[in-house]
Amino acid sequence: MTGFPVTADNSIKSHRRAISAFLLLFALPILLSVINITFAENWKIHFFPAAVILAAIIFGPAGGIVAGISGSLYTALFLGNPYVIVGNALFGAMAALFYKKTGKIVLSALLAYLIQLPWLVLTDYYLAHMTADFIARLVIVLLLGNIFWATLIQMGIKPLRNFCEQTV
């Protein structure tokens, strides 16, 4: 037995949690993966790392992996780079593990990116046949994007947790 009465209210809360988890882990990263803002000479700000970092913080390594995979599907399928799936799953898992150890979102995202970086460079250069110049620019843009998203999440995590606790 579970130790608490099964009521309609408990059932509704568990459905809300399941829907919230699905949206945060799977749907949001996919949606955000198709949104990029181009600036200065065709550099793009990627939005889906925000969902990966958030899922990693809230749901741990498994959440980071799922969000990393789902956020990579667009790039893998439509842009022909399937290696990005492993890299972003690794980023999500590592962000969660570092957050669990440090409790610091920005530091965790940076350390996770450092773990992901060799995979990104090697697969993009040797397997996806991207130019070194393109990869260098990508490395910088992803670094800046990860810092940006992690900082925004850090600033908004308390209100977000309060909102989640009230709705689920």
d(Cα 154, Cα 168) in Å, to the nearest integer? 21
89 is in which domain, residue-wise?
A: 21-32+44-167
pLDDT for residue 52: 94
d(Cα 80, Cα 15) in Å, to the nearest integer? 36
Per the listing, tokens 């990508």 go with 138
**How confident is the model over 79-106, as a mean pLDDT?**
96
Query: Can you give the pTM of this predicted structure?
Result: 0.82
Note whether residue 9 is domain-resident: no
Kind of pairing between the strands at 43-46 and 36-39: antiparallel
Note whether residue 8 is domain-resident: no
Note whether residue 98 is domain-resident: yes
pLDDT for residue 58: 87
Least-confidence region, from 61-65, 101-105, 123-127, 164-168: 164-168
Q: How confident is the model at residue 39 (pLDDT cuts 50, 70, 90)?
A: confident
Note whether residue 102 is domain-resident: yes
What does the pLDDT look like over 15-32, one tens digit per residue? 677 777 776 677 777 777
Our count of domains for the chain comes to 1
| CATH number, position 133 | 1.10.1760.20
Note whether residue 145 is domain-resident: yes
Residues 6 or more apart whose Cβ sits within 8 Å of residue 36:
44, 45, 46, 47
Note whether residue 12 is domain-resident: no
